[in-house]
Amino acid sequence: MRKYFLILLGFVSILSAQEGKIALKTSLIAMSMDYREYDDNSQILDSEKSDFSQMVGVGVGASYLLNAANGNYALLELTMEFLSGKTDYVGAYLSSNAGYGSLLGSTNNTILNIEANYMYAQTLWENVHFLYGAAFGQRSWKRELSQSQVEVYKWVYGEPKIALQYQLDKMELRLMSGYKYGIHPKMSATGIANDFNLGAANTLEISFHATYALSKTREIGCSYKYENQSIQKSNVVYGSDGTGYLEPDSTANNQYIRVTMVFKY
């Protein structure tokens, strides 16, 4: 995580010479998770669930206004988000035939997401913009089911995005959607030397943002984001005892609430 913070700090340092075009932001984040794994017959194997009070975190970011003319503008942004907390686990022991629900527990989770984002805003009519662009980032999810069973999912992704934005006096409203395509998604697990190569890790996102200008240099905002994530099963990986393992198909329906302060310079 330290190297990502240094990248963000370097980005801010480069932009600091561009007076009037920079915005810095910091966010408080709450996340609701609904993650499920399935067998080949689409029967649920295990699940992780949390409400907004169980998974919380912070976000920091910096943006730069590239150009603005005739109401149109382009924006370059770099963000980093970190969340941690517990989810309620429902499943079964790997060697058990008792089935889903025979084992209950809790899982410690940490999620790190870093993203570079470019958006271009084009005026459709008065106070209304159409935005389009793309993002490139990396996601990491550490799932600690126990001290002896830790799984880490990690991939980079590309994401095309579109949005509609409406400006009403000091209030800005934005509806945005995007599709994250995971590139070479992998999972590592305790006690297994080789990584699992996941078949796919793609995410559909829909979000709503509301921002209010407190002054020319300060804004406060809140946002809601829903993401539908689909991970396809991996190849078979063998442990030191010769037993073969694979990561099954899974889905996640996650929700995020953010409260953000924006400081313009």
Is there a domain that residue 101 lies in?
Answer: yes
Distance from C-alpha of 80 to C-alpha of 75, rounded to nearest angstrom: 17
pLDDT at 19 over 60: no
How distant is the alpha carbon of residue 243 from its chain centre?
A: 33
User: What pLDDT shows up at residue 163?
Assistant: 98
Is there a domain that residue 21 lies in?
Answer: no
User: What pLDDT shows up at residue 191?
Assistant: 86
Distance from C-alpha of 174 to C-alpha of 156, rounded to nearest angstrom: 26
Please name which of 59, 54, 155, 157 lies closest in space to residue 109, comparing C-alpha atoms: 54
Query: What CATH number is associated with residue 143?
Result: 2.40.128.100
pLDDT at 111 over 90: yes
Is there a domain that residue 115 lies in?
Answer: yes
Distance from C-alpha of 65 to C-alpha of 76, rounded to nearest angstrom: 7
Burial of 244 (0-12, 13-18, 19+ CB in 10 A): exposed
Pairing of strands 218-234, 249-264: antiparallel
Distance from C-alpha of 127 to C-alpha of 164, rounded to nearest angstrom: 11
pLDDT at 124 over 80: yes
How many domains are contained in the chain?
A: 1
What's the mean pLDDT when you consider all of the chain? 91
Is there a domain that residue 199 lies in?
Answer: yes
Is there a domain that residue 188 lies in?
Answer: yes
Locate the DSSP E strands across 20-101. Answer: 22-32, 34-38, 44-49, 55-69, 72-91
Predicted TM-score of the model (pTM)? 0.90
Q: Which residues contact 158 (CB under 8 A, 6 or more apart)?
A: 134, 135, 136, 180, 181, 183
Give the residues across from 27 on adjacent strands. 59, 260
CB of 206 closer than 8 Å to CB of 176? yes
Place 233 in a pLDDT band, splitting at 50, 70 and 90. Answer: very high
Range of the domain at 76: 2-16+31-264
User: What pLDDT shows up at residue 20?
Assistant: 58
pLDDT at 70 over 90: no
Is there a domain that residue 149 lies in?
Answer: yes
The mean pLDDT value for 117-136 works out to 95
